[in-house]
Amino acid sequence: MITKETIDKVYDAVRVEEVIGDYVQLKRAGSNFKGLSPFSDERTPSFMVSPVKQIWKDFSTGKGGNAIAFLMEHEHFSYPEAIRYLAKKYNIEIEETQRTDEEKEALNERESMFLVTEFASQYFQKQLWESEEGKAIAWTYFKERGFTNDTIKKFGLGYSPNVWDALTKEAQAQGYQLEFLEKTGLTIVGEDKTFDRFKGRVMFPIQSMSGRVLGFGGRILTNDKKAAKYLNSPESDLYHKSKVLYGISHAKQAIAKNDNCYLVEGYTDVIQMHQTGIENVVASSGTALTPDQIRLVSRLTKNITVLFDGDAAGLRASLRGIDLILEEGMNVKVCTFPDGDDPDSFAKKTPLQDLVAYLDTNAKDFIQFKASLLMNEAKNDPIKKADLIRDMVVSISKIPDRIKREVYIQECSRIMDISEDVLFNTLAQLLKKDLEELGKKQKEEQKAFEVHRNETPNQPVEGVNIQLLLERKIIEMLLLYGDSEDDFEDVLIKADENGEMVEVKEMNRYKVFHRIYLSLQEDEIELAHTGFKQIYDDVIQYFYSNENFELDQYIAQLPPELSQEVTGILMNEEREVLHNWEAKNILVKGKDQSIGQYVTETILTLRWYWVNQIIDELKKEISPEADSDNTSTLEMIVDYLGLTNVFSKKLGRVISRHRLN
């Protein structure tokens, strides 16, 4: 187990904006950062990161928490794995106690599979560098490709021995279970024998955005026509080829920094480009590009440049991928290399400065690319030219942004020498079916919304919202200021010089959480919102049980449902500015207010609201019958109205009850 000292060091070092910035392109929004949700398919940012509070909130899914919670949600890390990842990121040495047998057994299946893939990756690298076979075959091959030792190590390249069960035997000898070797696809278990899937291949580990090994790609070096040249891990709980981009863990920071992603086809294309100095490059690993892969890039940038070799057939087949990129709302350019070259070979022989210049000069807008690619075939054939134009408009129709569509129509009109009206009419025809389907979907969503709205009881919503907002403020104050100290006014009853009992005001210093707790205890009224009450009880207990309060550590120990609720409260004001607070009699802490004033006035406002609720309930008890005696009830109402006047004076303003009705 990781020691508490190590965990404390990680918490002290970690910056939530730095951790999330490795996965999501964040842009400054005041004192916070915002970006696209990495948990949903959205085009308008609803993901907020607060460097001050060291938390994040995804308003599209409701998820939230600190940096560790993000890694646990996004990368499916366990808590110890998240700590290890952050310790590595911030160069913190991990100290740990020996894991017990029970703890080893408690590792779930997914974590066990990750342990197996990590072991396999280390094993393949060891075979490459230390075995005679690995040096003679794999190392020589990589050197022939032009890869340096540093590059080979950086990408974790390796070698699987040309022995039927070398990896399987070694893994089992080290205590790894055959069950997980099979589930990760490393071992094939047959009826008669068990053998290694990647026997006799050079190995390319395929990693997640955070660098976890999900699976492998293996290339055979012999001329065995019965064996596939490249072989990938099969689909598993870890590896989904349609959701993975090779090289993304090494490229993510460069993609965000350069606001552009180069997309290539193969492993060696990525490695060679990276070695030359172009680091913002990933590969679809020979599979057809998928929406999930595009969305992976969209978290880091809205710009993709697709790099193709000069093979015309391959180019034409890849046009479908361009349409997919456009459909996801991304900006796409295309760059081709001279005949006989691909990104690997061209980068190998081209200095970085020349390579950058070539990419900048030859990257074409997709409209220009399609026109240049297909125009020669259609030059003297009106039918083919018409088909080409229609094909270009089909691509334009995939773009969700209407303004961009119009700009591209104008560009297409200029390039193809055809009127904009004709193109707009063609576009309208192509969109018609999509619009009809969208209309059906919207009607279904509207119907669902109406059902949800009708299920909401007709109650004095504004009044209910006021109480919930005030209770939310109480929780927010506890979380942000609970461990702070400030001066609070106490009203005591004491005897004066003449022996008469009078009110005396004294300023005393309290911890904020202690003052809030005492104030609410006086009224013997619990918070109405179930979630807020649960958080309130939990955080008060935490304050009284712990000497120091660190917000990120408190959030980390919460169960997921409470963690999301807490981050939702803390980030609520980052999501929207609540207008007209004064009209609702809700106090917002001003820059000139102390924490003590803020706490006192919020609690007074909540008390005032509660008293008004009691008055409303008493009014219902008044009988309209002429012979009814309502004296007692009316006296109680007068007393409570007197309390509201006291609250008004203490708050320094007149509070109108009718605003709640």
Spatial contact of 125 and 205, defined as CB atoms under 8 Å apart = no
φ, ψ dihedrals at 593, nearest 5°: -90, 145
pLDDT tens for 500-534 read 656 667 787 888 888 888 777 665 567 877 888 88
Tell me, what CATH number does 130's domain have? 3.90.980.10
Does the residue 424 lie in any domain?
yes
Residue 159 and residue 126: Cα distance in Å, rounded? 8
Do 531 and 566 contact (CB within 8 A), yes or no? no
Q: Determine contact, residues 158/206, Cβ cutoff 8 Å.
A: no
What is the tens place of the pLDDT at every residue in 326-354? 988 899 999 989 888 899 999 999 999 99
Query: The domain containing residue 53 runs over which residues?
Result: 4-89
Same domain, 320 and 283: yes
Please state the φ and ψ torsions of residue 6, each to the nearest 5 degrees. Answer: -65, -45
Residue 40 included in any domain = yes
Please write the tens of the pLDDT for every residue from 610-659: 778 788 888 888 777 766 667 667 777 776 777 777 767 666 643 443 33
pLDDT value at position 499?
58
Whether 305 is covered by a domain: the verdict is yes
DSSP secondary structure, 545-612, as one string: H-SS--HHHHHHTS-HHHHHHHHHHHTHHHH-PPP-TGGGT-----TT--HHHHHHHHHHHHHHHHHH
Both 63 and 114 in a single domain?
no
Residue 443 falls inside a structural domain: no
Residues 273 and 227 placed together within one structural domain of the fold: no
d(CA 33, CA 567): 15
Whose tokens are 């490709």? That residue is: 145
Closest CA to 512 of 589, 588, 609, 598: 598
Q: CA-to-CA distance for 597 and 299, rounded, in angstroms?
A: 42
Co-location of 174 and 39 in the same domain:
no
Mean pLDDT of all residues belonging to the chain: 81
Whether residue 418 sits in one domain with residue 289: yes
Give the pLDDT score at 493.
54
Is the pLDDT higher at 613 or at 165? 165
| Overall domain count for the chain | 4
Cβ atoms of residues 473 and 572 within 8 Å = no
